[in-house]
Each structure stands twice: as structure tokens, then as C-alpha cells.
Structure 1
Amino acid sequence: MIRSLGLAAALLFAFSPAAALEIERHMSVSASGKSRQVEVVKGEVLARFSSATSSGAVRAAARARGGDDGGALALPGWRLLKLPPGMRVADGLGQFKSLPGLEVIQPNHAYRPTRVPNDPFINSQYALSRMSAYAGWEYEVGNSSRVTVAVIDTGIDGTHPELSGKFGATVSQYCNPGPTDAPGDNINCVPQGPSAVCNHGTMVAGLAAAASDNATGIAGISWGAQVVSIKIFRDSDCVNCNPNSCFTDDQAIAHALLSLISKHNTPDYGKVVANLSLGGGGACSALVQSAVTSARTAGILVVAATGNDSSLVNSPANCDYVLPVGATDSEDKLAYFSSRGPEMALRGVSAPGVGVYTTDMGGGYTTADGTSFASPLAAGAAALVWAAKPVYTSTDVANALRNTADDLGASGPDNNFGHGRVNIHRALRYAVEGTLSGFKGESKAIAFPSPFRPASDRILSFSFPADTAGSGLTVEIYTMEGELVKKLDGLTWNGLNAAGNPAATGVYLFMVRSDSGKSRGKFAIIR
């Protein structure tokens, strides 16, 4: 979006002096009495005061204890408090717990982008076939009604050819974590054109909504969804997404969510799906929960990555009303790093998050591992459902994903896979037709589309019954005379035979095999 030179200069002045967030370890005790070390922002705490308590009274009381008032946050009654120099957060919580009018006091939790190292050898979008996206797109590609995926992250490279046309009339924002005393360094959100501190947010955005059906690059899950960049990490902190310095905090997340409330259900934004591919240890903080609750009350769907520590579901994915998303691999097994817990069984889903192919900074593409990249696949699926069914509430959309997911692991919802791996075909059929009754993909293998027209369709996708899912999955394509045309290691085919030549017009048979069983089907090719 075009902005005046004066505003651009003001933004540069406001943000460039900010020092890096300093982090310390803090022992957090949950409501159940369990202790866990978490990372928090050094030198400050967050507090909520009664409506009768003035800012002057807070400032005087904080200064009397050697600290100071850091200013009001966007949620009513919440303020940032600065601790006396050198004081640890645990001691500061005790130091300030007797402030007049205090209702809640908590650390300012630190969050990292949830990523693990890339796998450079996987270079295809297997996630699309695993999630039955190709078949789902016959119901909806995201153009029927407006939906915007808000990427609350490290910012998006707005020049990427797969993303540059996806912003529409949205206004990207910067929500400043951990303000300093530098002039103009505020603690709220301000407009800032889409720009990235590192590649994490660009990778996330491409999975949810990269430009599709454009004969180049990759396909995002929702072709028609817009994106808006809500950057909550500082440029100075996140060079190359360095996990030792790339942090954001509770207040930036809260302000980011609150900034979207006035945008939801407007002509420029339509429905808003907020994606948070980041995480921090410990329970959901009171401040972030308040923001999530406000966003949900306004109608926004909040989706978040569960985390990559193979342990308990991270915050904010463990907050009430958030749709937590775990990661699976190309064989529908739980990714070793995917965090898990009761939140998954209660309201979570899974999506591919190992070796997923997506957009990168500088107009490039890359593969990545992490629940960070499972979450936007689910967010993109939610955007498709909402585009197809705009009368749905955010709860309806989340339920459509949960109730139509492919059950993995233990029967029924569980702590690992949640309600299962998202199935876009099933979710959209359910949303559009109101039922899964008579859905052949439940009982037999199908190829989609059939007839397959390689000149326009470009790719054929195979779907199969859940009891066929397993490791060692292959698809064998035969002529009606039984001659093998091509053996595939994935669930998509470009129409070329084993010799690399186009398969002729006609009817073909196929067999899907895995260590769990096999199923058959047929399709037609028209050239």
C-alpha cells in the first residue's frame, strides 16, 4: 500500500532505536500445581488494574517500589510495568503484587517462530494430495466470498510474485514487542507495508494462500484468500530467524489480535482467519487469553501451531477458543517434534508439517519442517470453508475441519493428532452439501478429476479409504489391458507414462497399495 514519505520516515525513526528483547528463564506454576520453566521478557511484567485505578496512581506506586509504569496496553485495565534495574521477573512479581487496584499480574512471555531445520531433498507439495486439496478445489477455490488470512508472524515479503497480488485493500501492521524508552517507540500497532524480518512469515503465507492456477511456482490452499501481514518481531532481533534472538511477547500478540477485530466482516477483509505460527512454553497467559476471547467474540477464527518441542502444547495454541494444529509427515505419521496434549483431543487437528514446499524470500521457494507450516495449511483450509459457507461462524468453520478430518492414531480424538489430519475434500463437501452421506471417497479409491484433461487440469489426484492408509504407499496405473503405465510414490500424477511420454486418451485402472491394504479405482483421460 502506498504511504507518504513522511509516514515512512516516522516509522523508520520509531523502530530503528529499539534494542533487542532480553529473555530470562522463569519457573511457571500451572493451575494444577505443575512447574515448568518458560522464557519471559527480562525487566518487565504485565498487570491488569481495576477501572477505578488511575494511571497516575499506578505510576506512583511502581516508582515507590523502584520500578515504573511502561504504559497502557490495548485491552482495558492492562499496563506494562518496568521492574527495578537488575531485578528478576520472579522477584518483580512479588515486588508489585501489592500495587493498589491490582487484579492480575503475570510475566510478559516470550515466543519464537516455531520452526525446525529444513529438509532440502523434498521438493513437491505432497501436502496437497494428503489433504485431498485437488478434489476439494472442485467445490471451492476461495473465490465465492472474501476471506483474509492474517499472518501474525515475522512479516511477509510483499514483493514475492506468489504473494504480491494477495494483499488487496488490506493494511499490513507492525505491532511492537517490548517497547523501549526511545522516542516514538510505542507499544501498539501501526500501519507498515508488508516486509519481512526473516523468511518465516513468507513461508507461512505461501502455504495458506499463495497465488494458484497461474502456471508458476506453488499452489496455496486457498487460491482466492487475501493475506495481511501483522508483523510482531523486530528487524534487529530476527536476522535469519535466529532462534537465540528472534522473540516476540504477550503484548504484541494481544495487540495483533485486537487490531483485526475492526477488520472482520468488512468489505475489504471479509471473514478473518488469524494464523499464529509461533509458540512459547507454559500456560496461556491471561493477557493473550483476553485478546483471543475478544477476537473470538468478534467472530475471528484463531489458528495456532502446537509447538516443536515434543512436549505439551505451547501457548497460544493452548488458549481457549484457539484451533491448535499439530504436524504429520508424508505417511500420515505424527512428526516427532509435534507438541501434544489434551487441547488436541478437545479441539485440535493435524496437517502436514514435514518437508512441506512453500514460498521463500526473494521470490524463491524452499522446504520446511515444523508445526509452523502445518498451521497455515489448516488456516487455508478454514478460509476455503468460510468462502464456501459465509454464513458459518468461526466455531462452525473449526467444527467442519474437526468433524471431517481423517482419523489417525487411536480411534477418535486423541492427544497426538487431535481430531485427525485435515481433509479438504471432505470439509468442503460437508460445508457445501451439508452431509458426507454417499461420499464415495469414504468407501472406495477415487481419482479426481475424472475425466482428467492434462492440458487444463495439469494434475490428477488419488483419494482412498482410511483403512488403506499406511506406510510404503504407492499408486500403480494400468491400461484396461493390464499393462503398467506408471508407478507413483505419491498421490498425484501429471499424465506422463514411465517413459516420460503423455498417456493416451482412454480409460485407465489404478491400484493404491500400502502396508495396511489396497484399493482399486478407474478414471478417464481426454487429450
Structure 2
Amino acid sequence: MNIILALIALAARPDCPPVTAADVARTLALETPAISSTEQRLSRPAASSFTARIPGRFTAGFVPGRLDETLSWLAAQGAEVLRADTAAGFVVCNLPDPVGLALAEAPLPAGVRWLEPDSRTRAAHLPNDPYFLTEQWDKWVMYADRAWDLNRGNTNIAVVICDNGVEYTHPDLGDRFTPGSYGYDFVSNDNDPAPDNILVPEAFHGTHVAGITAATMDNARGIAGWAGIRLLAARVLNDSGSGTLSNLASAIHWAADQGARVVNMSLGSDDYSTPVAEAARYAAQRNVLLVAAAGNAGRATAQYPARLPEVICVGATDRPGGLADYSNFGGDQELVAPGSGIRSCWTGAGYGIASGTSMAAPQVAGVAALVLSAYPTLSTNRLRAVLAASAIDMGPEGWDARFGHGLVNAYRALTLAERMSAGPDAAASAPFRPAAIVTGVWRAPDWAERVEIYDLSGRGGTVTGREFSLAVGTWFVRLTAPGRTELLRLRAVR
């Protein structure tokens, strides 16, 4: 199949709108907000850090109506003007690198908005892995090609796959493991987390999940995973996919102690588990992002551990873009990702197709790892908010019980993370209403199906009930219902 036919064969994908100030504000609202009164503005990177810059080529922005002044200033610096885009408000010019790079970091005349290197652009990255163009529709609808133009991974970021073992010798996974440090088998209590018997029909599961997250890219083999990170396997299920919540709890705690930044759990139970809940809290306090499958019963209640507040609950979409008929949903649904007909790694050094929320969760874990690869200092709270705020809304406007915040979009997540890592001024940009004065008890409006309350330190979360006694101070409230979201500031006084 030639590249044109291959591209035609890919699934249609939703529009990918640019990240805006509204997305930044939404991130701040979704994050446990700690709002600063100090103005912080986004800044461009240093001119010398532009890795794809064209030597001797620069752009200069000009203030409307001051093009002539800008041209005169450039001429005085020895620049050769190539063209002026009056609609966009900038000039392209040739300028010796030592001069241009120095001027770019120096104070500029009043009429010049910026001076920075001009850089090369190229077609969106399409890896040479043979299944990418023809079968990896999941990566396509999540804009992996554009995301990979920005970042492709960082082996300093560790992701733990809690599952029924991973075939770490698989040719598309071997490079993602550190030799001699593959993880831990909590079923057999040894250091070999591979499946015991790959002939068991369900033994492929953990290997398939791992491939979605991190199969080696650009090796002319098989598939492309989301990110070139470091994998660790925590085997908590037997080859048939059965295990205990206590083993899962141990694995989550172990993953946090191993320095993991992301833990994927494509598994679940209808039962709540205190050990798992405490392990999830332990991991979250250590800056570990926890991701879990919503479940495959097609019901309006997710399974555990996806229902825990520290865990991102992920539902599955099908190729047409709807919620898969098998996917659980409900009040804990946070994000959705492709889960139907997903091609990935298979035990026995092969490749196969599987469906389920088990396939959707590692998509989210992989995108999270990709974002952390570029911005490793992001907190878990902020990363979680970035993933939600950058998602493409698939149902009624705002959060809804079927799609949560929407379909994860890798390109928008990376772009938004870049803005958030620069520390925008939340007080100036967040669309909270002016502070309302509260004395005594505050009552949430009847229309709100979910109420989240946070203090200035970001402590808080979803609360139950309608009436709340607030301590003296400032509080931030997020009210949500299908098709409606409102953000409030409350000032509680005596």
C-alpha cells in the first residue's frame, strides 16, 4: 500500500483546535488550584535554544503602524529584509548569527515586538513501523503524528504496567526495559514479571498493554508505542488474568518506591479495597499518576481502582468515535481513548488485535508519559488537569458521564503543558466569577451534579451534599453537570 492509500485508510479524526487561554484557565480550574497573586507571563525560550533554526535567518515582529520604524532599525543592524507580512505583523530578514542572537536577548526598540530565529518545519512525523499507517488508527485520532514532532519520549520517565506480566524480550519492547531490571512478579514472588505460559489464551494481555504505551518507535518493526520511556512490569495477575487486590496494592506501593511517574492498571474489581485505596493515596502523594480501565460491562458504574479519586478512570471509544458499547461510564469517568480493534504487541514476539477499556487506559498512560518526557517537573495534579483540559469534548459541552472530559489529544496535551509549565498567572487568566461573600453555610445550586471545593493550597476535591460550612478564607468551587460548568470564588467570613 502506498502512503496515499495508507493515509486514506486511516480513521477520520476530530478537529484539533489550538490551545488557547481558555484551555489554560480550564486547566487551572481542573487542577487543585493554588492561585498566586504574582503576575507571571509566558516567555519565549532563549534564541540560542532554537534547535531547528535556520542560520542567519530571523523574524522581527512589529507594532501595528510602526513597520517603517522596524525596517529602519533592522537596516541599522545590517539586516537584509526578505519580506514583510503586514497582516501577521512580522518581517523576515537575514542577519549574521552573532548579531541576531545577541539582539534577540537584548532590549528592543518600542516598535519591535520580538526578534527571534526563524526555524525549519517539516511534515508531521510518521514512524516507519509497518503497522502505523495501516492499522494504528488509535494513534491517528489522538494526533500522535503531530505530538511526535514535539517529543518522542525520555528514558528517565518510568512507567509501571500492573497486569499479568509483560514479555520483556519482545523485539518491540526489549529496548524499553533496563537489562536485569524488568520489574517484579507479585504472583510468584520473584524478579521475573513475564507470563509463565504464553500458550494460555489470555497471557498476551500485559504485553499488549505495554506495547500500546511504549513499543519502540522507528525500528521498522511492528507498531509504534506512545513514548520512548522506561518500562517496568508488575505482574499482579496470573496468565489467565486473575489476581488479588492485595497484590495490586503491593504493586502500586512498590511502583511509587521505584520512582515511577505513571502506573497503568488495565484491570479491575467491583469491590472496594482499603489496601488499594491507601496504596493509591501513597503513590499520589509521591507524584505518581495512576491510570485505570473503567471496565467492560457496558454499565453506568466504573470498576475499582478506576473509581478511586487518585486514579484517572478511562473509558473506551470505538473507531466511529462513539463510546464503545462495552465500556463502563458514570460519575467517575474522567477521560476516554480508543479501545476497539487495537493492534499491539503479542506474546510469542508477535502482534495482535484486542478490544476493551484495557486497551484505552494505556493510551492515556502513554500520552501522560509523553507529556512528562517533555516536562518532567509537572506535578501529578497539574498533569492530570492538562490531560483533561486538552481533551476533545465528545459529548454535551463540558464534563459528562459517558465521555468524561473527552478524548485525549496528545498534541494539545503537549502544547498546553508547555504553557502551564511556564507558570501563567492563574488569578488573571482563570474564569472564576468575582468572589462571593459567604457567612455561615453555603449551598450548592440544585443543578450541579458534581461539586468540587478547594482551598488556596489546592487541598480538597469532590464533596457530597448540598450545604457546606466553610472556614474563614478563600475557596474555589467547580460545579459541573452535563453541558454546564461554572467556576466560583467564595470568601467565607465570620
> Shorter-chain-normalised TM-score: which range?
0.5 to 0.7
User: Aligned AA for 2:177?
Assistant: F
5 Å-filtered alignment, 1:109-508, equals: 124-143=135-154, 146-168=156-178, 170-176=181-187, 190-195=190-195, 197=197, 198-222=203-227, 224-234=228-238, 238=239, 241=240, 246-264=241-259, 271-282=260-271, 284-311=272-299, 312-344=301-333, 348-434=334-420
Describe the superposition over 1:221-262 as per-residue Cα deviations: whole angstroms up to 9, x where unpaired. Answer: 11x11111100123xxx3xx3xxxx42111001000111122
User: Aligned AA for 2:246?
Assistant: Q
Please report the TM-score for the alignment, with normalisation by the length of structure 1: 0.52
Conserved 8 A contact 1:233-1:247: yes
Question: What corresponds to 1:83 in structure 2?
Answer: none
5 Å-filtered alignment, 1:60-79, equals: none
Give the Cα–Cα distance (whole angstroms) in 1 for the partners of residues 382 and 303 of structure 2: 24
| CA shift for structure 1 position 194 | 3.5
Name the SS for the 2:174 alignment partner.
coil
CA 1:166–1:255: 2 relative to 1, 3 Å? same
Conserved 8 A contact 2:372-2:378: yes
| CA shift for structure 1 position 434 | 3.8
Please report the TM-score for the alignment, with normalisation by the length of structure 2: 0.55
Instruction: Report how many aligned residue pairs link the two structures.
Output: 283
CA 1:195–1:329: 2 relative to 1, 3 Å? same
Query: Can you give the 5+ residue segments of structure 2 that lack an aligned partner in the other structure?
Result: 1-132, 198-202, 423-494
Conserved 8 A contact 2:166-2:193: no
Give the Cα–Cα distance (whole angstroms) in 2 for the partners of residues 171 and 161 of structure 1: 15
Question: What corresponds to 2:479 in structure 1?
Answer: none
Conserved 8 A contact 1:123-1:366: no
Name the SS for the 2:275 alignment partner.
helix
| CA shift for structure 1 position 272 | 2.2
Give the Cα–Cα distance (whole angstroms) in 2 for the partners of residues 389 and 150 of structure 1: 19
Give the Cα–Cα distance (whole angstroms) in 1 for the partners of residues 182 and 222 of structure 2: 25
CA 1:196–1:400: 2 relative to 1, 3 Å? farther
Give the Cα–Cα distance (whole angstroms) in 2 for the partners of residues 359 and 123 of structure 1: 15
Give the Cα–Cα distance (whole angstroms) in 1 for the partners of residues 311 and 331 of structure 2: 13
| CA shift for structure 1 position 190 | 4.0
Name the SS for the 1:323 alignment partner.
strand
Conserved 8 A contact 1:406-1:420: yes
5 Å-filtered alignment, 1:78-93, equals: none
Identity of aligned residues (%): 34
Give the Cα–Cα distance (whole angstroms) in 1 for the partners of residues 267 and 316 of structure 2: 14
Give the Cα–Cα distance (whole angstroms) in 2 for the partners of residues 123 and 368 of structure 1: 16
Q: Which structure ranks higher in relative contact order (CA pairs < 8 Å, sequence separation ≥ 6)?
A: 2
User: Aligned AA for 2:174?
Assistant: S
Give the Cα–Cα distance (whole angstroms) in 1 for the partners of residues 338 and 318 of structure 2: 5
Query: Can you give the 5+ residue segments of structure 1 that lack an aligned partner in the other structure?
Result: 1-121, 177-184, 265-270, 437-527
Conserved 8 A contact 1:326-1:375: yes
Conserved 8 A contact 1:429-1:435: no
Name the SS for the 1:278 alignment partner.
coil
CA 1:200–1:217: 2 relative to 1, 3 Å? same
Describe the superposition over 1:38-65 as per-residue Cα deviations: whole angstroms up to 9, x where unpaired. Answer: xxxxxxxxxxxxxxxxxxxxxxxxxxxx
User: Aligned AA for 2:353?
Assistant: T
Conserved 8 A contact 2:262-2:289: yes
Give the Cα–Cα distance (whole angstroms) in 2 for the partners of residues 372 and 300 of structure 1: 20
Name the SS for the 2:261 alignment partner.
strand
Conserved 8 A contact 1:405-1:422: yes
Describe the superposition over 1:190-240 as per-residue Cα deviations: whole angstroms up to 9, x where unpaired. Answer: 422544551100000000000001111100011x11111100123xxx3xx
Question: What corresponds to 2:50 in structure 1?
Answer: none
CA 1:401–1:152: 2 relative to 1, 3 Å? same
Give the Cα–Cα distance (whole angstroms) in 2 for the partners of residues 399 and 168 of structure 1: 31
Question: What corresponds to 1:96 in structure 2?
Answer: none
Give the Cα–Cα distance (whole angstroms) in 2 for the partners of residues 148 and 331 of structure 1: 33
Name the SS for the 1:350 alignment partner.
strand
Describe the superposition over 1:53-108 as per-residue Cα deviations: whole angstroms up to 9, x where unpaired. Answer: xxxxxxxxxxxxxxxxxxxxxxxxxxxxxxxxxxxxxxxxxxxxxxxxxxxxxxxx
